[in-house]
Structure 1
């Protein structure tokens, strides 16, 4: 009798397990809420099954984004790398991720990009970051960073404009990018635009405020957290990185917006002859999603994302105020060289030791 009851119970259990399996069914893959309503597009992209992404540079978040896309949508991603300051080879490639906007604009004007406006573009923190055939994914600005605690102890208010830096109170407090660095040359170009023919005179006067000329992109920012540097000129993202790494609330930063902000932005775009257009369009949606934007900070990138819940931590950078400078042309390079030469010549005539590496090339 016991044997019969055991057999009966086993049969009931087996039937109930089968029923549970049938009622659950196969619901298929699920995606984050940011992709709700894009099911047809996802299906079309998955049908293509492949995507080739050209990333500009070797920053970890670029490849992390490719890996995340592959994980989310089960689409095989091939990654190619291009130099950050060069136009990529679009042959056989679907999308360009992390490219400089000046280069992206050049490619757009020559018809090299596919027009596509992602649904996700509606979440851009400013509509100025969306364009017909590419979108901005991150911004940065060359601005002013300070250690506010040190300034407070000195009884000095922070400089808010480029003109403020000439005030005698800031004598030998400023760390400025050396003029033979990319940041230093960009600063010179910005001052040429702002001060016009008086740019060399401004830079000559500014030398009195400069303690060190730095060669490292983040030298000033790193030393702000220790108080070695009081006022630094550089990419604001380096200040944010120093702030995060040190946990210091003393580091403050801003861009002199009223004067125009020397800026750089990264973009995402689809090549005109993309072999997998549906997967490429899905990539554009993904690139502007919180899931992708969060990968910047997660992978040590402190540029300021254009779509993200955390944008309250960003300095207020108005895209209309960002002045984007393209790659130096022969003419531009000659003009910058001329201004720098005039500054160095005048400083030498005034008795400044322009060969002092301990001041002029601080790494």
Structure 2
């Protein structure tokens, strides 16, 4: 069931157009957000303060968001999709779920971090890595993992937390990264079967594994490292970030206008805001960190750490379907 994570009702002025009204009777848009919950809330609040338009914000993991948008009954339910890996947006585009829009802000984003026709624009980067509980590693006599094969250590059996490739964009990223690393899909699935014996649980969301490890329920998580840094900043002080020396994948977190948006003009304004330097910096008092796609926004050095990036996010919708189907059939039924 969908649950709104927050409705921002800070309206600065009244609109005279015949548009969708929010809970206060003022102009509003509905945004489906697939990023960190606190960041979704910050984006919504910042946009409302800037524009006067209320944001009805709903948060879902990327895979679940795509499934929701793909239902015929969901046409027109949301105006904007914000956050989550761009490869999922390519699937959405192939299904006719997006509407192109080239924002005036788009030139501030490098061409390889956006769709040149405006189907989606990158608004943050995430690097895939390991999030480990140092205290538990010490108890097991293990070093911080710095190889994909380190996750296969016997001591880590049932002690690794991984997001599901079926429901999570992060989950699909770690699986597709194995294709790039090992050379083909079958080799990637063979590694996934080995890793499966180590997995405590496949989480629905890519955000969840860092918390699982921070609470001591697992020892190592595979996740985008901004989630680990956020959990450490929130008080889970045992958490440490590391990257596999063989190389790793990354995500381009995207934003897009949805087809059948009830208020396209407001959706365009929201995308303009999402691409802006102010939004990418997350605003004053931000509690979530991301790597920006704009050069004029400072980057948090903890989120790179010398990681070797070996794969560009996969933009082939057919590969995602093949890998996810094979994962369900061959790895985790």
| Gap change, CA 1:215 and 1:70, over 3 Å in 2 | closer
| Whole-angstrom distance in 1 between the partners of 2:235 and 2:265 | 43
| Gap change, CA 1:215 and 1:229, over 3 Å in 2 | same
Larger radius of gyration: 1
Q: Are 1:338 and 2:329 counterparts?
A: yes
* TM-score calculated relative to the size of structure 2: 0.62
Structure 2 match to 1:323: 313
Q: Are 1:177 and 2:162 counterparts?
A: yes
Which of 145, 149, 174 is 1:159 aligned to? Answer: 145
What pairs with 1:28-107 in structure 2 (closer than 5 Å)?
53-57=29-33, 59=37, 61-62=39-40, 64-74=42-52, 76-77=53-54, 79=56, 84-85=65-66, 86-87=68-69, 91=76, 95-98=80-83, 101-106=86-91
| Gap change, CA 1:275 and 1:334, over 3 Å in 2 | closer
| Whole-angstrom distance in 2 between the partners of 1:327 and 1:103 | 11
Structure 2 match to 1:266: 253
Shift of 1:243: 0.7
Structure number with higher helix proportion: 1
Q: Are 1:252 and 2:237 counterparts?
A: no
* TM-score calculated relative to the size of structure 1: 0.58
What pairs with 1:1-363 in structure 2 (closer than 5 Å)?
53-57=29-33, 59=37, 61-62=39-40, 64-74=42-52, 76-77=53-54, 79=56, 84-85=65-66, 86-87=68-69, 91=76, 95-98=80-83, 101-106=86-91, 108=93, 112-119=98-105, 121-122=107-108, 124=109, 127-132=111-116, 133=118, 134-148=120-134, 151=137, 156-166=142-152, 172=157, 174-177=159-162, 182=167, 186=172, 187-188=174-175, 190-191=177-178, 194-195=181-182, 196-199=185-188, 201-203=190-192, 205-206=194-195, 210=198, 212-213=200-201, 215=203, 217=205, 220-222=209-211, 224-225=213-214, 229-246=218-235, 248=237, 250-256=238-244, 258-261=246-249, 263-270=250-257, 280-295=267-282, 301=288, 304-307=291-294, 308-315=297-304, 321-324=311-314, 331-340=322-331
Alignment check: 8 A CA contact 1:147 1:227 kept: yes
Structure 1: runs of 5 or more not aligned: 1-45, 345-363
| Whole-angstrom distance in 2 between the partners of 1:323 and 1:245 | 29
Shift of 1:312: 2.6
Shift of 1:160: 1.9
Can you list the C-alpha shifts for 1:57-102, whole angstroms capped at 9, x where unaligned? 484543543443232234x346475861243766597644336523
Shift of 1:286: 1.8
| Whole-angstrom distance in 1 between the partners of 2:165 and 2:114 | 33
| Gap change, CA 1:144 and 1:98, over 3 Å in 2 | closer
SS of residue matched to 1:118:
coil
Structure 2: runs of 5 or more not aligned: 1-14, 20-26
Alignment check: 8 A CA contact 1:162 1:256 kept: yes
RMSD: 4.7
